[in-house]
A and B are shown apart, each in its own frame.
Chain A
């Protein structure tokens, strides 16, 4: 079956612009996660959606970052007024149990 998909694959933007990153999880997966990975670093947890529960936003680095998950499926991560330090690969994962299935990521470059 289809895996987790993310779009766009790459995004180049100018400092100060807003960007939206999309994640399509595996159908039927109740949990959805967003992570950020800076060059050569590990994964930094951003936000977690589980079913209809309130999302765990504890990893969002600032109020410029927000995410929503519509209809328990597709999720959008929005970064407002982007900064150069936001440049990273943004990874989405979904799960129905303990194992997480990752998408290919969106590589964001803020100039």
Chain B
């Protein structure tokens, strides 16, 4: 089964609104990362949050991590049409023998209407 489960599977909003995506996972992690994918091609790294951090910001992005609930959220504020993409969370599992090996969720498809 997937380590990362994302919610919602699809999100449709108007430009200027905020978009929130959630990710839940099952086992302890070293860090959790969010990636963005346009048009089914290569992924672009957005932000990394470590297991001992609770919140991080990067521009219009805000990520939270709750290790007690094994969940994370990605908030995109003041969304733009160019934010339309698929967003994936990925976890780096604690105690693994393969450093840096990530397990990806199924993704959230975000559509921002102009």
Contact = CB atoms under 8 A, between A and B. Distances in A.
Interface of A: 4, 31, 33, 35, 37, 39, 41-43, 45, 48, 50, 56, 89, 91, 93, 95, 97-105
Interface of B: 2, 4, 30-31, 33, 35, 40-45, 48, 88, 90, 92, 97-107
B101 A33 contact: yes
B33 A91 contact: no
Contacts of A98: 30-31, 33, 48, 92, 100
A45 B106 CA distance: 13
Given A33-B101, A43-B104, A56-B98, A100 B45 contact: yes
B45 A101 contact: yes
Given A50-B99, A98-B92, A105 B45 contact: no
Given A33-B101, A56-B98, A100-B102, 6 more contacts: A31-B99, A43-B104, A91-B43, A98-B33, A100-B43, A104-B41
